[in-house]
Amino acid sequence: MFVNHAGYTRNSFERLGSARTETHNFRKTSRPSIHDEITENLAEIFTRPSPQEGDHLYHLTSIVADFLFGDDQFDGLLYPTIAMRANSDNIAVKPRYADNHLRFLKAEYIRVEEVGDFNYRITILDTASKLDDRGAILWRGRLPQWAMSDGREQLNFIVENGEWVARDTAGNIVEPE
Look at phi and psi of residue 85 and say left if phi exceeds 0, alpha if psi is from -120 to 50, else beta.
Answer: left
Give 128's pLDDT tier (boundaries 50, 70, 90). very high
From residue 84, give the alpha-carbon distance in Å to each of 1, 19, 49, 52, 60.
Answer: 24, 10, 11, 15, 21
111 pLDDT higher than 70: yes
CA angle (69 as vertex; 67, 72 as ends), nearest 5: 105
Read off the pLDDT of residues 143-154 as tens digits, 9 standing for 90 and up. 888 877 656 678
Question: Considering just the CA atoms, what is the radius of gyration of the chain in Å?
Answer: 21
From residue 48, give the alpha-carbon distance in Å to each of 19, 44, 60, 98.
Answer: 17, 6, 11, 28
Nearest to 60 by CA among 70, 50, 52: 50
Read off the pLDDT of residues 130-147 as tens digits, 9 standing for 90 and up. 999 998 999 999 988 887
Name the DSSP class of 16: H
Whether the Cβ atoms of residue 18 and residue 37 lie closer than 8 Å to each other: no
